[in-house]
Amino acid sequence: MNNTGNHADKQGGKENIQELILLDVICEHCRNKMRPEANFCPVCGRSAKGRVPVVLCVQCRNKLRPDVKFCTRCGHPVGQPKKQPPAPFYTTPQFINRMNRDISVLKNIIILFVILIAVNIIGYLTINEADTSFFTFFGFEIFDSALIIAWLLVFHRNILDIYYNLDCGIRKYAVVLIAAIPVYIAVHFVVVLLTSLLKTESLNYTKSYYEDGYGYLTVILSICLQPALIEETAFRGIIHTSLRKFMGVKETIIVTSAAFAILHFAPISFLYLFLLGVYFSALRHWSNSLYPPMLAHFLHNFLCIAQETYKILPE
């Protein structure tokens, strides 16, 4: 075992060429896996002096014995660095076509974003009129939803594939459920701090609904379900997926989150909306699915409603 470790250090210690990640060890008598610090095998009771280390293939992360020369799963040579995909080669016409496609995609999402801003500005100006029925607000929500769905179906049908990715892992949904309350509490106190520093009143999303006679179910549909489905389709679906074609992950998350915060037209809330956007976009990238960010968005808005209704946390 010591010789193997010394050999690994000589091969890849300086340039990190050979990646030997010790996971556990195997008893040489009964082949049982045990922790590296174990002195005796828990199955056969033999001394662990003859234990064999288990290492990882740098290419596919398969568990291997260090004495093998090739990975049993992918065939990658042990001790060789991870293979990098070759850079694509484009002829001049292909490069021009690719640039034109990227520019077309970028122009498309910019046009969508400008249209959404225009619609929201008209909506806010119309709703703030004294003689305007609150029913007009639902009309703008329906128009927003129809616009984004139509834009998705006409210009971005390839993005529909992420809707089929239901099985992104129970662990990812569990993370969303567990993180929902801590994330909301952090956002709530950020808002409280900002409103106290700027001496402004915090927004109340449910007051107008209740004053116009709408019930709790309507509030949940309008404030929780519609934004979770439609806003996530627009930002984490259309915009995020389109930007990833010619941007890195960090740049895509930052741009998408900034656009998400800007569209809400709430300067005092820009910071926490941007951070929420980063959280939703990170979930989108981590899960490669829209359902975890949709669930996170729904839960956050639902907790906002619960706070406004029952005053659970101090204001």
Q: Which two tokens stand for residue 134?
A: 């609150």
Q: What is the pLDDT of residue 12?
A: 41
Structure tokens at 150: 């139509």
Q: For residues 231 and 29, which has the higher predicted lDDT (pLDDT)? A: 231
Per-residue pLDDT at 300? 96
In which band, very low, low, confident or very high, does the pLDDT at 234 lie, cut at 50, 70 and 90? very high
- What is the chain's percent helix, strand, coil content, to nearest 5? 60, 5, 35
Beta bridge partners of 176: none
Higher pLDDT, 55 or 194: 194
Q: Is the pTM of this model over 0.75?
A: no
Give me the pLDDT at residue 246, please.
Answer: 82
Q: Which two tokens stand for residue 234?
A: 């627009």
18-32, 79-93, 112-126, 193-207: which has the highest mean pLDDT? 112-126
Give the position of tokens 């990715």.
165
* Sequence spans of domains, the chain: 2-64, 149-310
Which DSSP state fits 224? I
Report the amino acid identity of residue 213.
G
Range with the poorest average pLDDT among 55-69, 176-190, 296-310: 55-69
pLDDT given at position 13: 40
pLDDT of residue 247: 85
How would residue 293 be classed by pLDDT, with cut points 50, 70 and 90? very high
- 252 contact partners, CB below 8 Å, separation of at least 6: 240, 243, 244, 281, 285
pLDDT over 50 at 6, yes or no:
no
CB 159 within 8 A of CB 152: yes
Task: Assess whether pLDDT exceeds 50 at residue 284.
Answer: yes
Q: Give yes or no for residue 18 having a pLDDT over 80.
A: no
Task: Report the pLDDT value the prediction gives residue 181, as an integer from 0 to 100.
Answer: 95
Taking CA atoms, 171 is separated from 162, 167, 178, 286, 287, in Å, by 18, 11, 10, 11, 10
How would residue 204 be classed by pLDDT, with cut points 50, 70 and 90? confident
Residue 48: which of 24, 21, 67 has the closest Cα?
A: 24
How far the first Cα of the chain sits from its last, in Å, is 61
What is the spatial distance between Cα 230 and Cα 226, in angstroms, rounded to a whole number? 6
pLDDT digits (tens, 9 = 90+) for 115-150: 999 988 888 787 666 445 566 778 888 999 999 999
To 5 degrees, how large is the angle CA 117–CA 123–CA 127? 150
C-alpha closest to that of 234 among 278, 184, 290, 288: 290
Q: How confident is the model at residue 48 (pLDDT cuts 50, 70, 90)?
A: low
CA angle in degrees (0–180, nearest 5) for 279-284-286 = 90
Contact partners, residue 7, CB within 8 Å, separation at least 6:
none
The phi and psi torsions of 55 (rounded to 5 degrees) equal: -125, 175
**In a 3-state reduction of DSSP, which class is residue 37?**
coil
What are the tens digits of pLDDT across the range 71-109? Answer: 877 787 876 777 766 666 666 777 677 777 788 888 999
Residues 6+ apart with CB under 8 A from 94: none
* pLDDT at residue 125, rounded to an integer: 80
Mean pLDDT across the chain, nearest whole number? 80
pLDDT over 50 (residue 10): no
Q: What residues does 47 pair with on adjacent strands?
A: 40
